[in-house]
Amino acid sequence: MLVFYKAKLAFLSVPKTGTTAYEAALRDHADLVISEPPMLKHAPVYRYNRFVRPMFAKVCDVNLEVMAVMREPVSWLGSWWRYRQRPFMQGKENATHGISFDDFVLAYMKGKKPGFADVGSQFKFLETQPNGTGVTHLFRYEDQPRLQRFLTERLGVSFELERSNVSPDMPLNLSKDVEQRYRRKFGEEYALYESIPQE
């Protein structure tokens, strides 16, 4: 998570949406950088609302706008599946070695997910809270020009991104049947993604 006090902006770090690269590029311009531990780096809206928002509201008398990035839902799951196939994951409980992408998505759709498929939800991460705290500016991972232009204009800085924390390059082969089942079960993920403006 990055907070830019003068720009009145908090940049939440949705896992697997390239935010580590933005953190590296913009950390010198941020007033608050939370890069560890993961549960704080990747604090969802509800955790931001409980801990970070009140700190700035009560101490600094400022309400920050919130920005975040969302990835196309199947691509997001695919990034997790590939990420957990990195060599050092071999033999670990959450590894996806030997598990097809179909089986990974099927496992994700279970009520009680096995550890390797328990990766959370972008929709839940971004969910607006009862007090109205939510994401003010939401961007598609696949629409980098719009995201980068917003940050350049809002922060008044230029920056360059370098790839970091990248998943292995592997094809995503998802059967039509499994994809349709996933779309039906997680319609809210698609509805949110499709509501995001594009270039």
For 150-190, the pLDDT digits (tens) are 999 999 999 999 876 677 788 899 999 999 999 999 999 99
Contact 165, 13 (CB under 8 A): no
Confidence (pLDDT) at 44:
98
DSSP state of 109: T
Confidence (pLDDT) at 163:
78
* Beta-carbon contacts of residue 158 (< 8 Å; ≥ 6 apart): 152
Q: What are the strands of the beta sheet with 2-4, ordered from one edge? A: 32-33, 2-4, 9-11, 65-70, 137-140
DSSP state of 98: T
Structural tokens at position 41: 């780096």
Rounded-to-10 torsion of CA 157, 160, 163, 164: -40
Task: Identify the structural domains of the chain with CATH numbers, from first to last.
Answer: 2-194 (3.40.50)
Confidence (pLDDT) at 169:
80
Q: 199 or 18: whose pLDDT is higher?
A: 18
Contact 19, 13 (CB under 8 A): yes
What is the rounded average pLDDT of the residues 132-146? 97
Q: What is the pTM of this model?
A: 0.94
Confidence (pLDDT) at 171:
86
What is the rounded average pLDDT of the residues 110-138? 97
The SS3 assignment for 65 reads strand
Task: Classify residue 40 as exposed, middle or buried by CB count within 10 Å of its CB (0-12, 13-18, 19+).
Answer: middle
Q: For 35-81, write each residue's pLDDT tens digit.
A: 999 999 999 999 999 999 999 999 999 999 999 999 999 999 999 99
Residue 23 and residue 34: Cα distance in Å, rounded? 9
Q: For 74-117, write each residue's pLDDT tens digit.
A: 999 999 999 999 998 998 999 999 999 999 999 999 999 999 99
Q: Which of 80, 94, 73 is nearest to 142 (CA)?
A: 73
Confidence (pLDDT) at 101:
97
Helix (H) or strand (E) holding 176: helix 176-185
What is the rounded average pLDDT of the residues 114-121? 97
